[in-house]
Every structure is written in structure tokens, then in C-alpha cells.
């Protein structure tokens, strides 16, 4: 028998799937905001790992404030005469990325090279995810990590089994299942940036997808940066754009029977040569700045139809930053409940922390549910409560998974 | 007779006022995120004004990416022996603020000193709003404004009467009326930072207010930075904290008959001297970084119970940035409708743009309403539609008001 | 009887005054290199003073690496219609100044706000010396002070009477008397930037003077930045240029009977409007970068006819930085000897330190002298030796005077 | 018959070789000032080459202002248990290098990516010369290149055969032959950083050599940074130090019959473990800042016994920057004269420019000579004059050689 304050109730609205208008957005990993999210989170993982390796526990840090100032580029179609490795255009003014945050630099006489670790993590992240970005010419990565304040710089997690205390009054919110439109938007970006990209290296990482559903009509709008070294002509470009359109259209049909219309790079003016061609695969090369926490929420989507937390999840310390933990955990709980409990059409999990209390004992854990027809909340309340309770008991799993990079935060 | 696509329908949920649990937050103007919002928006106003003065129209710019890297401070109680102007502690390492963005630097042979304008606007904003912040020792303001991309750098608004085209597919959302809890949270911060501050200069600008309502019980949690030069002792400190508590309690009672509990600086450990004392009135002096668009939405609140846009409103160009315009306009429309039309318990306005179409013709303008008991949506639909239509027709008013600083964006 | 290794010998060359060709240069206080020197030295003074005030002794620091990246400006003749305070043109892109160095940030539990002190000192210096430079729009001052290394971070001067040890093998060199050409070049800059400027505010601080003497003909070339807010027309400009020419010509005649030719702003092309007009009074506003130690030597001159030390004197710690101390002291010794001992036509003092030995006991103090006709070195050797010995005994006076700002270092 | 103003005269002093006291210094390529020189010059070469490749001529630029702010490091003896590639200690806070300067970014519609070129050149230089420096963790390279001013931004060298005009009144000075002490100091650093380093990778690039000769006794003091990954113990360290001492001693004896004493790392306190151990091979990793033009003169030495120019040669534009050209050319002339004309014990060449005149026609070219016993200046005047004249005629060779990297500037 648990003492956790878990409340299960009916959600006082239609399931999002049943609402008349739905809007969903996902900024791909190459969007300037997502680049910042990705760097912030990978710096966070590297720091957490370094602390564990060197002092056996994670010390205070937060690196959730990376800022990207866009560069300037002159993309150009690849030319057969250009030598391999120098095809296409070039970056004229490098992208500038400033990793900002706090991190404990010394612990009981051990110095932790947090700035060097952050620098390496950021550069490794860029190298791994942006094959067309030349780290020697196209980007400057700078680091400005301060020491944390005395009060916050306390150490936590000294004994493995202990539950940290909430450091703030904050809340997290998660949902499940994803609507058809949400699934299409999320999956399309992931698939474009993996499966499709493998066959079409012309597609850059900066893929932004907007989904809009009015009744039973779903419009998917894709803005996809193309990479000049893999595009030889305007024809080549338009063919790739069309390939994206077909790929997304096909993919969408796996998720829905509704009408789906897909548009790609609608702002292009092909006749005048005004197209979405880049040298690096991201609009950060030309005028689009970015920062952490401005794009996707912890579940990878922007969903104005649903409650969202403003919290920037990426880069936060996963041991004691309650906003990060609860946003990830609430999503995890929602997905698990829906996977294990039948009859749920829409589920919303909210976790509200209580400052100074163990994080497995939220002030309130609130499950709101829209049931399938013919089912009452009371029919499944106990099942839901059990999952929520179990997940809360295992709250430190979230921390572990985040440190190991098993959970995406954006 | 209008051709605008305006839809009025019933909102498929309870009015937020009638929901069981409600969470509201406001980051005061001294919160690091709000400092960035404030600077970004005041740089934007200064640039827009400079363009108007020098070339007669607003050129391309966006300055919505200010980054703040926190400093280090050593606050100390003011001491009678300290000379006037040097009371309290000091900043040890200055706050670093980097204004990032794009702005057109030349137009038909006229150079516009955008960097100098941005620098001055940022410093003026800080000087005006943060009396305890010494601009000679406590803060470094740096500026990194790039040129916009060729494509976007087009000029707009050449003829006064013309309506710009939407530059993106984006949406805005607004609500009215505010719930009791929302009103308390919003008003409390505004009053603390004006009326209360005038009498109690010890209160800094970094006031963060969290409101939580469960049924008919409202908990208001205030985190209020105190300014050391105006605090002589721990007793003095606790008295000011108590004054804040009383002030907010009294203020809350003007907005509600529900039970209200107010807590101030709950993380304090007075016995151990661990209190929320600052030298400058903001936590940016010690470990709290900030950036634009991470805090309050355009209506000044964070309201997870309501749909929110992720768009960073502050710093965006108010002439053609559709996300900014529609977030502000939808809020304005909601408030106007509620002021002019009786019988509305909750109203939500959504505006969805259509790229390439005039911004006064949104793809859809969607008014969803919860009526008072005994009233049908159809009873007031025409009235609502008329207000929405009129407001859309006057969309450029938003631009004008934003440039003149008449509308707060955070 | 002293044990100091003081050597007095004949100088193995003609007195510079008697050499056939002589070249002398002085960069005025508004030259970008001198701006950096001035900031570095004033930051140094402020830090030394702060250490004395707070912990009773000067701790380890060196701030001899300020870097200035030039801005962009659009100077314009002042116009009668322009309101007071806004006359002339403007700075388009601010000058960027980065104060680099090391400084001890904590001593026995006392935090010293070295970054804030440096920031204020740099800004105060600019404000005091550059009346046409608007600190709110024309310049960004940034600070990057590291901690010193463990080894060097030791404390010195604990007991007032103790002589520090030399921290390096280094040398200083000084000369006296100045030649006529040297006197003209040095005095002209000083007088232009004080007496003349008081009556002609149109003259900016960036005055660079080159003196060349061939036999008995002295050519003085002045490059003088004019300040737009005080210049109404091309005629006004040329009149001020002519006034400078006359002023320097008259001044020169007080120092010499030789022929003197003065040229001012010879690179001007008045007919094409290509003149040396600035908005701020320094070429740092437009394309001329600067850094510490690249301009004047410790005696205020660049004198290729004489041995010079490459050491950057400005910004160095005056307690234990032996290069700084010996450059200043050797100049001081040379001047004192010449003032007190008759019959010296040219004197060169060299001080060579020995690492780890007290700084009042140089490895060698070497006085080389050209005597007036009819006098042998042996006639005055004892007198010279006595002055050198006395000055070395009082070596810590140099430190005191530098900290109090009584000695110019550039 | 030439019209160049070439003057040949007796030098009014003893040959430096015959003076009683001589001081010489060389900062090795790993000294923070030399790192800046090296980067500045290699950025300059890369830009010049890029201009030639892209627009067929060198455009306006100057990149002579690189600033290095030191990092923090924790060197440690290499341990057999450490995996290859991770031996020794680590850099805790990266070195920060800011490349400052001006460069023309556009010419007749062609964009030149000067920032990207500079970034790559700087990083390539570091990679090539500092094998122990990990560019992913140990250093941040930032770039801040402004546009040149309108006036200066003119294009030069349009026709291959044309001689540029002097852009300033400036002078250069060169000497030959090197004294024994000068040869020892210069060669020792070069050999340590090549031959010796190849066999002893423990020796880092930061080798600073000070030579002092009093009469016939030469003291050579070497400060040599050791690289931790190649040093396993204090014994290993002292053995390498001793190897350096022996190597330099042997080398010195090839240049002189005088007594030579060599000291290496005299500041070490081996018993207390205070030694000159680094992780990267340069003191820039720990507290030693650097900037361009503060170290070696164009001939690779600091020679207070000889006239020196203050001009920073590295990073200057070799097409029209007269200070750079004349410093290099005067050294080249001096060496050539001494190689081709017998009987010269000491030679000093001075070149003084005349603004606005072709650079092959200096205001004066001044050869001052100390002849061997029994020879008069008049005996060799004609020969000297001929060499000077020929070299001046070929002045553009200097430019070409500098661009191709054939001439060291520091």
C-alpha cells in the first residue's frame, strides 16, 4: 500500500484525436534550436559521466543555455569538376556556438575539467550528427561555464539507493497515446533523418515538420534543407524534394486512413532559383539563430492542443532537476499506462513537485483520462494507479537512462 | 460582409476556472529569462524606431536570442558605516549578456548603426529597470548582430496602408478572461515590482510567483530576491519577507473569495543564514542563466492548463513576424471580446497563418467559447465574429503599438 | 659601502644627439595601442589598490594583455541643426575591448571582485580620457581574467620593508637626457592633448608623432584625428590642421635651434574629401586594432637609435614583475643621474635581474656614458655610482609610485 | 645608374661582438607570444593565397592582432597503466585564442570567406606545430575579422610588375652577421624544436632561450616546457633536462671558442616537485597569455644591443605594409651584403619609407658598417651600394616569399 498522492480522474475535454483542429510541430535535429538542445544534452551526459568516473557521483551542474549565433554561407550546386571533399559552396562566416552553464569544477581536491569536457562533447555531437559541417571552417564552439552557487553546489546521490529531494516547485506533463498527426510528424522527421538520408545524402538535418489536421484532413508541411555537395542542379534539387514528398506521404498512410496532403519547401521559387539549398544541412549557416528549450518539448513535439511545460529539458542535471525529471517521467508513465491498460483514448499525466520532499513523492500525481466508449474511468482506475505508483518508485531509473543517453530530451 | 475565415464554436472542455487543478506561473521582470525578454524586446523597439526615423520603414531584423550568463556575487547586509552608494556587498564576476540576432545594416546607401543602437537599448533597459545593478561593474553587454539572409532581407511596409504577407506558417493563441488565480499571479508581480517596491526598495526585481489552485484552495508561492543595500539585518530581511506575504495576501483577496495561502521564500533557512539576499536584485548575479522565450508567454503568464505557443515573442520583428503578431493579437482579441460581449466564462482565440497570404487573412481564426449557464454559443456568435473581424482588419495596429512599447510581450 | 654590482663605463658610440640620422616616434594616448596600454595600466593600479585595501598587500596578477578590435564609424561634419550632444556622425559598430590577464580571486577566505574592478577601471579610464567616446553606444568592454598558476600565486610583500625576489631573468634600459628631437616629439603629443585640446576640442586623442632628424634638419610628422562634433566644415577642418601645425612648430622651437619642418595629416586628400575625421577622436573607431606593449616604451617613446626592451610595461604587476620595475627604474636612474651629475652628453642605464635574488641587487647595473668634451668618465664615475646605488636601495619606491599612478608607463 | 637614396657610412659604435656586455633572447615557437605570431602569419598567408586564387590579386587585410588568453591545466607524469593517447594529465580550462583583424570580404561580387579561412589556418597551424595539443579539448579558436575602412580597402598589385606605394612613414632595420651569442640562441631553439625533439618528444615547443655574454663568458639560460605524456617520473624529467643542457652546450661550441655555461629550467625546485611540466608543451595552458608582436623581431631574436623596430611583423599584409616589408628586406639586405662583401664585422641596414612613394624608392636606405681591421668603408662602399640597390629593385620578391611561407617573421 502506497502513500503517494495519486489521483485518477476523467479528462474534462475531448481526446485530441477527436478535436476539430489539431496542430503539431517538430523541429528536426538540424534546426538551430534543436542543435542547441542536442549540444546541451550531450554536454550534460558527458559531465554526468565524468563526475561518476572521477568522484563516484554526479555533482551540481546545469548546461541548459547553449546559444547559437548563425553564420553566413554561400551554397552552390556541386560541380563535377570540383575535387571530392570540396564540392558545393562554402561557409563564409562560421556559426558561433556558446555553451553556457554552471558546473562544479573541484570536489575534495579533485579538479574536473568541465570546460574541456563540454567543448569536446559539443564538438563530438556536431561531428557525429552533421556530416556536411566541417568543424575546421564552419563553426566556432566557445564555452563559458561558471561555478554553481555555494548553496546549490551540494553533492547528491551519495548513496545509490537514496532518493534526492526536489530542488524546486515545478511540474511535468506527459501524454499518450500520440494522435495520428503527432505520430506522422514525429516519425517523419526521424525517418527522413535516418532511412531516407542514408539513401539521399542530399537531405540535410534541418527538417522542420508542421502538421495540421482539420477534421479528417491532415496537412503536413515539410521544410527540408538540402546539402549542396550532393545536389548537382536545380533538377536534381526538385527531384529530391519530390522524393521527400513521396516518402512522407507513404509513411503517413501507415498511421492514418484520413486524407493526407504533404507539401515540401513551399517557400521555394524554383524559377528564380530561390530554393532551400545549404552547404551544411542547417539554416544555422545563414541567419537562423538558436537556443535551448525553444523548440520541441521532452516528447519530441510541440503540441499546442495539449498542456506543455515551458521547462527546457535538455542540458538540465538529471539527478536533481525536478522539471527535467518530471517531464520525462510523466511522458514515460503515460506511455506505459497506455501500453498496459486497455481502453484509453487519451491520457494526460501531471506531476507536481514539492520542494524539499523526495522526488518519488510528488505533491500530486494526476492522471486524467478519456476512456474508450463504454468504459468508465473507475473501471481502470486501479490499474492506472498501480503503474503510476510503480514508475514513481523507480524514479531514479530516469536519471540513469538520461545519463546513458537512452532517452531523447527534444 | 467579410471573407475572413472566422469560426466560432463551443470549447470542448470546462472553463479553466472550473477545472479541479490549475497551475499558473509568472517570472518577474528581474528573472534572468525575463531580463533577456526585456532586452530583446527593447532592442527590437529601438531598431524599429531607428529604421522608421532613418529610412521611413522598418527593415528586416530579429533580435530574439539574447543570452545571459550569470555572474557571481557576494551580497552582504548593509552596514551603517558604509558610505552611501556603497552599501551592501558586491558583484564579483559581472553578468555577461550577449545580444544575438540579425539586422539590416545598410539600405540604399544609408548605414544604420544597428549594433550601437542595440547596445544602447540593452544598457538603457537595464539602467531603467534595475536600480541596484551598477552598469559600470556588474554587467558586460556584448552584441553580435549578423546580416539577415538575402532572401529575407526584403523591405516591407513601403506604403503605409499595405498589409504584409505572412512569412511563415505559424499560429497564435490567446485567452480571456483570466482566472482568479491567473489574475492574482499576474497582478501580484506587477504590484510588487511597482507599488510595493516604491515603499520597500529592499525588494528586488527578481520576483517569481507560482499559483496553484486545487478546488477552492489557492496556494501562492513567491520567491523574492532582496537587495542587500536596503537590508540591514536578518530581522530586517524577515520583516520584508513578511511584508511581501501580507501584501500579496491582501491583494489576492481582491480577486477571489477562495482560500488563499501565500508563502514567500520558502527555501530560506533563516537559522543558518541561508536566505534569498542579492546585491543586484536578480539571481542572474549568482548562477542563474537566462535566455529569451523561456519564460512568460505573450500574456505575461505560463499557463499549462491552456494551449500555449512555444514562439518567443520578445525581440521578434513586429512588422512581419507572424508568430509574434498572432500571439499578441489573439490575446488582444480575446480580451476585447470578453469586454464587449456578455456571458462568456472562458474564451480561446487561435489564429493560424497561411504563408504568403496577407496577415489580416489568417488561414483560420478560431474562437472557442465556454458560455455562462443558460446561454448558447449561437446567442453570441455574431457578436464575437464581429469583434474578431474588426480586430483582424486592424492588424497593423499591433505592429504600431509594439514599436511604441505599448504592449508587453512577456 | 655597497655590494651591488654597479659598473660605470664609456658608451661605445656617439651620443644620439650627435648621430647623423635619428628617428623617434610617439603614439598619443588615443592611438589604439596606447588605449590598450592605458587600460591595462589603470586596471593594474585598480587591482593593486584593491588588494591593499582588502588584504593589506598586493597579490599575484598581470593584466598586460588587453586587446582592442576596431569598430566601424561614420563621422560627419557637425551641423548647426543637430541638437547639442548629437552633433556629427556616429559609431556604427562598437569598438570591442577585451581585458585579458590573471588575478588572484580569493585570499584566505576573502573574495576580491577582480573582474568587476577591472571592468570599472577600464570604463573609467575611457570615460576620463575620451570625451567624444560615448560609453553607451561606442564601445563594448569585456573581461576575461583567469586565476594565476599555483606556483606564481604566492603572496609577496608581507612585511613592508622586505624586498621581493626577481621572478625572472629580465632586463631594463633607460636613457637621459632626451635629445632635442625626442623632447619635441614627446612634449608635442602631451601639449596637443592638453593645452591645445582645451582650446581646440576638435583635436582628438589619437595623435601620432614621428620625428626624423637628418643632421640639423628635423622633420616632425603629425597624424591627428579630428572629432566631427567640433568640426563644421572642410574649412573648419583645415584651419584646425593648420593650428596644430603652428602649435607644434612653435613648441619645437623652444627645444632646438635646428631647422624644424612640421607636417600634419599628410595623407589627407582635401579635394576629394578624404580627411582624418573621426567621431570619437581615435582610429580605433574605424579599422585600427590595438594591443598592449606594441607602442611606446616605458619612457613614452619609440627610439630605434637606442636599445629598447620588448617588455610590455603597462599592466604588469609592479611589485614583482622585474621587467616592469627595471624598465621604469632604469629610466628614473638615468634622469636622476643627469640631473645631479654635470658633464653627461648621453647616458644609458641597463639593469639585468638575477632570478631568485632580491630586486635591489641586480645581476649587474650598468651605466654607460658619453661625457661632454674635456671630461673623462673617471671624473664622474663615483657620483654616478652613488646615484645608482641609492636608487636601487629605494627600488620599492617605484612600486609605490606605479600603484599610485604617479608614473606613466607608455 | 640608380636614383635611389642609398647612403653608406661607418657605424659609430663597436661591433656588437666586441661590446663588453651583450644580451640576446629568443622565444621559441611554443611561447604564447610566438603562438600568436605564428597564427597571425599563417592566417595572413592563407588569406593572401585565397585572394590570389579567387580574384587574382591580394586585397586589403591585416591580421596582426591575435590574442591568446591562457588556460588551466593539470599536468601529470605518464603512467604505464594509462591507455595510449590518454597518457599524462589534462587541460582543465581550454586556451582561448581570438584572431582579430580586418579583411576584405567581397570584391566585385565575389565573396571571400575570410573568417572561415582564418579559422582553418589558425587550427591547422596549431595542429601542425603542437602535437601534444588536442584541438578538441584544449583550445578554443575564435575569429573577429572586421571589414577594412573604405580608404584603405583599395586594391593593389593589379598589374604584376607594378610597385606599390608606401602606405605609411615607417622604417625597418636589419643586421648581419649575427654574433656568436645570437647564433647560439637562435640555432639552439631551432635545433631543440626539431632535431632534439624528434628524439626526445618529452620536450615541448615552449622553449625560451636567453643569452648573456659578459666579455668572453657566455651564459645560456633555457626554459623548456616538458610534455607529461612523455615523462614518466621525476627522474625521467631531470634526465631530459640534462639532455637539453648537453645538447645546447655541444651546439654552442660549434659557434664559439668562448666559455659557455648552459642552465636549463633554473626555476625548478625538484625536491618539492615544482618543475616545468606541461600537458601541451606550452605555458599557454597555464597562466601565460600572449599576443602578436610582443616577442621576437623579424630576424627571430630580441637584441637590445641593436636598434629594433617595434613593428609587429607577423600577420601584416606583405603587399603594402611597409613596416613589414622593410623589416624583412633590411634583414635580407644585411645578410646578402655580408655574404657577398668581404671585410664586414658588423652591418646595420635601415630603410625609411616615404608615404605615397613607390616602396622600392625609400626616403633613405642607410648602410652603416664596422669594417674588419685594416679596411676602410670606402674600400667596400661601392659593393655594398650595389647589393642594396639590387635588393631594393627586387622588393616585390619579399612579398612573394612571405606569401609562400618561405620567410619566417618571428
Task: Provide the pLDDT confidence category of residue D148 given band limits of 50, 70 and 90.
Answer: low
Contact C23 D147 (CB under 8 A): no
Report d(CA B92, CA C54) in Å as an integer.
14
What are the grid coordinates assigned to A79, written together? 560541380
What are the grid coordinates assigned to C330, written together? 632604469
Ligand-binding annotation for A146, yes or no, is yes
Residue D261 forms contact with C (CB below 8 Å): no
Which of C90, C94, C143 is facing B143, going by the closest CB pair? C94
Cα distances from C378 to residues B353, C12, C381, D125, in angstroms, run: 96, 15, 5, 55
What are the grid coordinates assigned to C110, written together? 576573502
**Nearest chain A CA: its distance from B274 CA (Å):** 8
Concatenated DSSP letters of D331-397:
HHHHHHHHHHSSSEEEEEEEEE--TTSBTTS-SEEEEEEEEPTT--HHHHHHHHHHHHHHHHHTHHH
Size of interface A-B (CB pairs under 8 A): 139
**Residue indicated by cell numbers 640639423:** C216
Which of B65, B267, B306 is facing A355, going by the closest CB pair? B267
The pairing of beta strand D364-371 with beta strand D344-352: antiparallel
Ligand-binding annotation for A88, yes or no, is no
The pairing of beta strand C90-93 with beta strand C72-74: antiparallel
Residue B90 forms contact with C (CB below 8 Å): yes
In this predicted model, what pLDDT tens digit does every residue of D252-306 receive, in sequence order? 999 999 999 999 998 898 998 889 999 999 999 998 999 999 999 999 999 988 9
pLDDT in tens, chain B (410 residues): 358 999 999 998 899 999 988 999 999 999 999 999 999 999 999 999 999 999 998 999 999 999 999 999 999 999 878 888 789 999 999 999 999 999 999 998 899 999 999 999 999 999 999 999 999 999 999 999 998 654 443 434 444 557 888 877 788 999 999 999 999 999 999 999 999 999 999 999 999 999 999 999 999 999 999 999 999 999 999 999 999 999 999 999 999 999 999 999 988 989 988 899 999 999 999 989 999 999 999 999 999 889 898 889 999 999 889 999 999 999 999 999 999 999 999 999 999 888 778 899 998 899 999 999 999 999 999 999 999 999 999 998 999 999 999 999 99
Ligand-binding annotation for D146, yes or no, is yes
Provide the 10 A C-beta neighbour count for residue D133. Answer: 24
> What is the average pLDDT value for chain A, to the nearest integer?
92
Residue of chain D with shortest Cα separation from C220: D169
β-pair partners for B208: B27, B223
Contact residues on chain C for B137, CB-CB shorter than 8 A: 113, 116-117, 119-120
Residue of chain B with shortest Cα separation from A18: B12
Rounded to 5°, the CA angle A390-A392-A398 comes to: 110
Which long-range contacts does B214-219 make (Cβ < 8 Å, 24+ apart)?
B214/A364, B214/B20, B214/B21, B215/B20, B216/B258, B216/B259, B217/B258, B217/B259, B217/B261, B218/B180, B218/B181, B218/B184, B218/B252, B218/B256, B218/B258, B218/B259, B218/B260, B218/B261, B219/B260, B219/B261, B219/B262, B219/B263
- In this prediction, residue C161 carries a pLDDT of 58
* Residue A344 DSSP one-character state: E
Contact residues on chain C for B91, CB-CB shorter than 8 A: 113, 116
What are the grid coordinates assigned to B236, written together? 530586517
Residue A253 forms contact with D (CB below 8 Å): no
Contact residues on chain B for C112, CB-CB shorter than 8 A: 92
Contact residues on chain D for A143, CB-CB shorter than 8 A: 94, 140
What are the grid coordinates assigned to D214, written together? 659578459
In this predicted model, what pLDDT tens digit does every residue of A345-395 receive, in sequence order? 999 999 988 877 889 999 889 999 999 999 999 999 999 999 999 999 999
Residue of chain D with shortest Cα separation from C144: D69
What are the grid coordinates assigned to B75, written together? 551580497
Provide the 10 A C-beta neighbour count for residue D273. Answer: 10
Concatenated DSSP letters of B290-351:
EETTSS--TTS-B-TTS-------TTS-TTT-HHHHHHHHHHHHHHHHHHHSSSEEEEEEEE
- In this prediction, residue C382 carries a pLDDT of 96
Size of interface B-C (CB pairs under 8 A): 72
**Residue indicated by cell numbers 598581470:** C62
Residue B104 forms contact with A (CB below 8 Å): no
DSSP helix/strand/coil, A107: strand
Residue D309 forms contact with C (CB below 8 Å): yes
- In this prediction, residue C365 carries a pLDDT of 93
Share of chain A above pLDDT 70, in %: 96
The most distant pair of C-alpha atoms in chain C lies apart, rounded to whole Å, by: 74
- In this prediction, residue C148 carries a pLDDT of 65
H/E element, A171:
strand A171-176
Q: Looking at chain A from residue 365 to 384, which residues have their Cβ under 8 Å from any Cβ of chain B?
A: 366
Report d(CA D297, CA D222) in Å as an integer.
19
Residue A323 forms contact with B (CB below 8 Å): no
Peptide bond into D177 cis (omega under 30): yes
**Nearest chain D CA: its distance from A141 CA (Å):** 7
Q: Looking at chain A from residue 162 to 191, which residues have their Cβ under 8 Å from any Cβ of chain B?
A: 169, 171, 173
Report d(CA B403, CA B321) in Å as an integer.
13
Classify residue B53 by burial, with Cβ atoms within 10 Å: 0-12, 13-18, 19+: exposed
- In this prediction, residue A158 carries a pLDDT of 47
Report d(CA D327, CA D308) in Å as an integer.
9
* A130 touches A205 (CB < 8 A): yes
Contact B144 A69 (CB under 8 A): yes
Classify residue B378 by burial, with Cβ atoms within 10 Å: 0-12, 13-18, 19+: exposed
Which residues, at least 6 apart from C286, have a Cβ–Cβ distance to it below 8 Å?
C70, C71, C72, C73, C278, D149
- In this prediction, residue C150 carries a pLDDT of 43
Query: What phi, psi does B54 have (nearest 5°)?
Result: -100, -35
Residue of chain B with shortest Cα separation from A284: B149
Rounded to 5°, the CA angle D377-D172-C215 comes to: 55
Q: What's the gap between Cα C60 and its chain centre? A: 23
Residue B21 forms contact with A (CB below 8 Å): yes
Quick one: angle between helices A114-129 and A32-55, nearest 10? 130
Contact B92 C115 (CB under 8 A): yes
DSSP helix/strand/coil, C26: strand
Task: Provide the pLDDT confidence category of residue C155 given band limits of 50, 70 and 90.
Answer: very low
β-pair partners for D207: D224
β-pair partners for A22: A213
Contact residues on chain C for D291, CB-CB shorter than 8 A: 65, 67, 291-293
In this predicted model, what pLDDT tens digit does every residue of C235-256 receive, in sequence order? 999 999 999 999 999 999 999 9
pLDDT higher than 90, residue A171: no
The predicted model gives C42-71 an average pLDDT of 94
Which residues, at least 6 apart from A348, have a Cβ–Cβ distance to it below 8 Å?
A11, A173, A174, A175, A306, A307, A334, A367, A368, A369
Quick one: angle between helices A395-403 and A377-393, nearest 10? 60
Ligand-binding annotation for A309, yes or no, is no
The predicted model gives A331-336 an average pLDDT of 97
The predicted model gives C285-303 an average pLDDT of 94
Q: Which chains touch D (3 or more CB pairs under 8 A)?
A: A, C
Which residues, at least 6 apart from D195, have a Cβ–Cβ distance to it below 8 Å?
none
**Residue indicated by cell numbers 668581404:** D342
Contact residues on chain B for A148, CB-CB shorter than 8 A: 287
**Residue indicated by cell numbers 589598490:** C49
The predicted model gives C287-292 an average pLDDT of 92
Report d(CA C400, CA C395) in Å as an integer.
9
Cα distances from A205 to residues A41, B291, D257, in angstroms, run: 18, 24, 68
The predicted model gives D204-229 an average pLDDT of 96
**Residue indicated by cell numbers 560627419:** C76
- In this prediction, residue A169 carries a pLDDT of 78
**Residue indicated by cell numbers 475531448:** A14
β-pair partners for B174: B349
Chain B contact probe: residue of A61, A64, A69 with most B CBs at under 10 A:
A69
**Residue indicated by cell numbers 654607460:** C368
Question: What is the ipTM score, two decimals?
Answer: 0.91
Which of B91, B92, B119 is facing C137, going by the closest CB pair? B119
Rounded to 5°, the CA angle A25-A27-A28 comes to: 130
**Nearest chain D CA: its distance from C200 CA (Å):** 26
* D301 touches D24 (CB < 8 A): yes
Quick one: angle between helices C234-253 and C180-191, nearest 10? 140
Domains assigned to chain B = 17-27+179-288 (3.30.300.340)
Residue D53 forms contact with A (CB below 8 Å): no
Contact A100 B147 (CB under 8 A): no
Q: What's the gap between Cα C2 and its chain centre? A: 33
Contact D67 C70 (CB under 8 A): no
The predicted model gives D315-332 an average pLDDT of 93
* D334 touches D366 (CB < 8 A): no
Q: Is A155 left (phi over 0), alpha (psi -120 to 50) or beta?
A: beta
Residue A264 forms contact with B (CB below 8 Å): no
* B284 touches B126 (CB < 8 A): no
What are the grid coordinates assigned to A369, written together? 483520462
* Residue C42 DSSP one-character state: H
In this predicted model, what pLDDT tens digit does every residue of A173-215 receive, in sequence order? 999 999 999 999 999 999 999 999 999 999 999 999 999 999 9
Contact residues on chain D for A117, CB-CB shorter than 8 A: 137
Which of B152, B287, B307 is facing A305, going by the closest CB pair? B307
**Nearest chain A CA: its distance from B350 CA (Å):** 10
Instruction: Decide: pTM greater than 0.80.
Output: yes
The most distant pair of C-alpha atoms in chain A lies apart, rounded to whole Å, by: 74
Ligand-binding annotation for A90, yes or no, is no
Of the candidates C289, A89, B150, the residue with the CA atom closest to the CA atom of residue D149: C289
Residue B287 forms contact with C (CB below 8 Å): no
What are the grid coordinates assigned to A295, written together? 523548440
- In this prediction, residue C21 carries a pLDDT of 86
In this predicted model, what pLDDT tens digit does every residue of D362-393 receive, in sequence order? 988 999 999 999 999 999 999 999 999 999 99
Amino acid at each position: 500500500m502506497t502513500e503517494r498522492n495519486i489521483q485518477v480522474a476523467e479528462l474534462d475535454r475531448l481526446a485530441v484525436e477527436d478535436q476539430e483542429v489539431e496542430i503539431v510541430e517538430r523541429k528536426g535535429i538540424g534546426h538551430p534550436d534543436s542543435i542547441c538542445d542536442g549540444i546541451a544534452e550531450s554536454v550534460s551526459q558527458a559531465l554526468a559521466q565524468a563526475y561518476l568516473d572521477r568522484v563516484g557521483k554526479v555533482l551540481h551542474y546545469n548546461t541548459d543555455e547553449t546559444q547559437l549565433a548563425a553564420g553566413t554561407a554561400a551554397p552552390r550546386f556541386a560541380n563535377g569538376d570540383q575535387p571530392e571533399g570540396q564540392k558545393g559552396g562554402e561557409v563564409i562566416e562560421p556559426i558561433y556556438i556558446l555553451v553556457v552553464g554552471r558546473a562544479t569544477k573541484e570536489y575534495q581536491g579533485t579538479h574536473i575539467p568541465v570546460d574541456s569536457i563540454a567543448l569536446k562533447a559539443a564538438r563530438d555531437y556536431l561531428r557525429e550528427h552533421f556530416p556536411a559541417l566541417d568543424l575546421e571552417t564552419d563553426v566556432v564552439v566557445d564555452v563559458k561555464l561558471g561555478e554553481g552557487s555555494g548553496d546549490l553546489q551540494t553533492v547528491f546521490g551519495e548513496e545509490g539507493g537514496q532518493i534526492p529531494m526536489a530542488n524546486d516547485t515545478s511540474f511535468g506533463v506527459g501524454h499518450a497515446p500520440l494522435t495520428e498527426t503527432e505520430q506522422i510528424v514525429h516519425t517523419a522527421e526521424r525517418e527522413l533523418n535516418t532511412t531516407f538520408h542514408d539513401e539521399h545524402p542530399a537531405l540535410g538535418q534541418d527538417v522542420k515538420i508542421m502538421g495540421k489536421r482539420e477534421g479528417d484532413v491532415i496537412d503536413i508541411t515539410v521544410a527540408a534543407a538540402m546539402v549542396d555537395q550532393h545536389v548537382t542542379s536545380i533538377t536534381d534539387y526538385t527531384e529530391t524534394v519530390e522524393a521527400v514528398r513521396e516518402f512522407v506521404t507513404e509513411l503517413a498512410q501507415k498511421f492514418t486512413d484520413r486524407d493526407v496532403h504533404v507539401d515540401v519547401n513551399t517557400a521555394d521559387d524554383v524559377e528564380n532559383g530561390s530554393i532551400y539549398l545549404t552547404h551544411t544541412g542547417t539554416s544555422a549557416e545563414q541567419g537562423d539563430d538558436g537556443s535551448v528549450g525553444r523548440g520541441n518539448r521532452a516528447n519530441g513535439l510541440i503540441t499546442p492542443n495539449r498542456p506543455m511545460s515551458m521547462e527546457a529539458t535538455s542540458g538540465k542535471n538529471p539527478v536533481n532537476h525536478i522539471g527535467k525529471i518530471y517531464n520525462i517521467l510523466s511522458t514515460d508513465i503515460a506511455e506505459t499506462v497506455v501500453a498496459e491498460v486497455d481502453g484509453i483514448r487519451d491520457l494526460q499525466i501531471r506531476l507536481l513537485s514539492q520542494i524539499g520532499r523526495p522526488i518519488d513523492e510528488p505533491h500530486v500525481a494526476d492522471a486524467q483520462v478519456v476512456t474508450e466508449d463504454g468504459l468508465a474511468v473507475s473501471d481502470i482506475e486501479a490499474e492506472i494507479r498501480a503503474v503510476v505508483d510503480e514508475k514513481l518508485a523507480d524514479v531514479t531509473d530516469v536519471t540513469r537512462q538520461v545519463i546513458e543517453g537512452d532517452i531523447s530530451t527534444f
